Amino acid sequence: MKVAIVGATGMVGAVMLKILEERNFHITELLLIASERSVGKTLLFGGKPHRVIGLAEALASKPDIAIFSAGGAISLEWAPKFAEAGTTVIDNSSAWRMDPSKKLIVPEINANSLTKTDKIIANPNCSTIQLVMALAPLHKKYKMKRVVVSTYQSVSGTGVKAVRQLENEISGITGEMAYPYPIHKNAIPHCDTFEANGYTKEEMKLAREPQKILDDLSFSISATAVRIPTAGGHSESVNVEFFHDFTLTEVRTLLHQTAGITLQDNPDTNTYPMPVFAHDKDDVFVGRIRRDETQPNSLNLWIVSDNLRKGAATNAVQIAEYLVENSIV
């Protein structure tokens, strides 16, 4: 199994390599790809140094699987080239997510839709993944009508530049800014660029991607995405209106029994999800479960996940595992 990681020197790329090792993913040859300025550098994997190569050299090697995490422009240009060469591409950018000819996959929910003809597979937005992980079992049983979500997103979701900005501000250092405002001791209601309707691209991803993953346009989502000064982990306050009623005991039992979900929901012991608990873990954590007393059939949830793991790298690796286990690649 020849595997390529495109964007191996980036934040998500580094986590992908860590997860591939942790999960003992079977690799006979590993290709690490980065921008021209990084070509020739070495990265350790499995205790052995691997030379970083360019995209053209990787393409010529015809890997079985290529996991892309190098931005939309690179994915739009190079993913079709790899696919044409017979490689199955798992793309972590937003480039292919809403393309009707490409599947948007969260393995626990819809990996069974994948076939050998799917040569470019889209990895959803980090905030979307944790949202649908929690909502999918509830939607299946109670059928969602409307979702309102507000996110509290870590600076790591923006990248190294944003993490450095936060660290500089904490230390009182003037440096390069990833955001138009200071992030330390602040909350910025601005994730990604604004669209004509006044929502940001991040907010519209949250509105559209769950419908595609769940293959259902019968529910609607309204989102507000906020950047906060945490180093890792995204949190979401979620209000869901269902067509059918529920009991809180049923909801808790259903979530507890769902693979990939950890229930943390006991106000008596101050047990609820937080980024410090989700750090370096692959599960999605759900708590603060309570009925919305202002609206029938409505529920409030608090959802937290490590955005670099299940929100990006782990989900991509899980897709690769499914492809291999089911002889799709």
Q: What is the pLDDT of residues 13-35, one digit of tens each?
A: 999 999 999 999 999 999 999 99
Q: Single out the catalytic residue among 50, 126, 139, 191.
A: 126
Q: pLDDT by residue (tens digit) across 34-80? A: 999 999 999 999 999 999 999 999 999 999 999 999 999 999 999 99
- List the structure tokens of 100: 């009707």
Please give the average per-residue pLDDT across 88-114, as a whole number.
Answer: 98
Q: What digits encode the pLDDT tens for the residues 220-231?
A: 999 999 999 999
Residues 203-224 pLDDT 10s: 999 999 999 999 999 999 999 9
User: Residue 215 burial by CB count (10 A; 0-12/13-18/19+): exposed, middle or buried?
Assistant: exposed
206: number of Cβ within 10 Å: 27
| Domains of the chain and CATH, by start | 2-123+312-325 (3.40.50.720), 127-307 (3.30.360.10)
Distance (Å, rounded) from C-alpha 285 to C-alpha 268? 18
Say how far apart CA 116 and CA 86 lie, in whole Å.
10
**Could you give the residue ranges of the DSSP H alpha helices within the chain?**
11-22, 55-60, 72-84, 107-110, 126-142, 160-171, 201-213, 248-256, 275-278, 314-325
Report whether 216 contacts 145 (CB < 8 A).
no
CA distances, 23 to each of 6, 52, 143, 220 (Å): 19, 22, 34, 36
Task: Tell me the C-alpha distance between 206 and 150, whole Å.
Answer: 10
Determine the pLDDT at residue 150.
Answer: 98
* Largest Cα–Cα separation, the chain: 60
CB 102 within 8 A of CB 122: yes
pLDDT of amino acid 301: 98
Tell me what pLDDT residue 44 has.
Answer: 95
Which of these is catalytic: 50, 139, 191, 234?
234
Percent of the chain past pLDDT 90, that is, above it, reads 100
User: pLDDT above 70 covers what percent of the chain?
Assistant: 100
Tens of pLDDT, residue by residue over 265-308, are 999 999 999 999 999 999 999 999 999 999 999 999 999 999 99
Note if 191 is an active site residue.
Answer: no
pLDDT tens column, 164-191: 999 999 999 999 999 999 999 999 999 9
0.85 surpassed by pTM: yes
Length of the chain equals 329
CB 148 within 8 A of CB 302: no
Task: Compute the C-alpha angle 272/163/3, nearest 5°.
Answer: 90
Rounded Cα distance, 80 and 160, in Å = 28
- 190: annotated active-site residue: no
What is the per-residue DSSP string for 255-297? Answer: HHTSTTEEE--BGGGTB---HHHHTT--SEEEEEEEE-TTSTT
Q: What is the mean pLDDT of the chain?
A: 97
Tokens of 188: 């910025």
Distances (CA, A) of 144 to 133, 148, 207, 261, 327: 14, 11, 13, 19, 34
Bridge partners of 218, per DSSP, are none
Give me the pLDDT at residue 257, please: 98
